[in-house]
Amino acid sequence: MNNKGFTLIELLVSIVILGLILAISVSSINGISNSIKQSERKNLIARIETAGSKYAFDTGKTAVFVRDLIKDGYIDSENDTVLDPVDNKSLKCFVVKMEKQGDYYNATFVEDSSYGYSNGNCNDTKLNQANNNITIEIYQNGIRTYDLSKRLTGTIKLKAISNSIKIDCARNYCRWVISTGKTASSDEIEFTPSSAYSEITGTFTTTVNGTSYSSSVTIKT
């Protein structure tokens, strides 16, 4: 009768093989888990960006905290935040920026955590600066004024767009005139208002096929 057992070498080889199998299994499980979390995060970001587009369409604002999308009912959440599925950290102080394209707003989730403080509060001043990119639409029926009814600080950028005409400043006359005296022969202009002004008006004019189009915006500073 053969009662021979495992030798020490055979036992060690078996342990090594089992260890390799276990390591491969754990790695595969972790890979699948990470893939699921990344997919969940992608879906969450898409949901946040959709909410941002609706928010911009309703308010005209081009930057918003995830916190405010929750507070204003654009994102459903049981508390005041949504958590990143990958690292379980709060996304409430992350920002969504929107850009008008035709009748809609294209929203982009900004991968920048610096909009939040270490104490968990959101940096509203930095968000206000992000909202200083103002898009105004040009109409054929003379000057149409947009009163923002809010105070802005820092550098302000104005951009003219239109659904009815093609704004081509390389071929046609374009002119931005800011009431502080700054001008630009393009569809965009940037400026930093001084404390001497409480209100500033920016007017954009272009001429296409002999027809003049113009709109203006009033900015509180």
- Identify the pLDDT of residue 176: 94
Contacts of 120 (CB under 8 A, 6+ apart): 90, 93
**Domain coordinates of the chain in residue numbers?**
10-130, 133-220
Domain at 133-220: CATH code? 2.60.40.10
Contacts of 140 (CB under 8 A, 6+ apart): 164, 165, 211, 213
Q: Note the pLDDT tens digit of each residue in 203-215.
A: 999 998 888 888 8
> Per DSSP, what are the bridge partners of residue 171?
none
23-32, 156-165, 173-182, 204-213: least confident range: 23-32
Contacts of 14 (CB under 8 A, 6+ apart): 6
Comparing CA positions, the residue from 132, 173, 123, 172 lying closest to residue 153 is 132
Unique residue bearing structure tokens 């888990």: 33
Name the residue type at position 71: K
Name the residue type at position 202: G
Give the three-state DSSP class for 201: strand
**What's the pTM value of the predicted model, to 2 decimals?**
0.55
Q: Note the pLDDT tens digit of each residue in 129-171.
A: 677 777 777 776 666 777 766 677 777 888 888 877 888 999 9
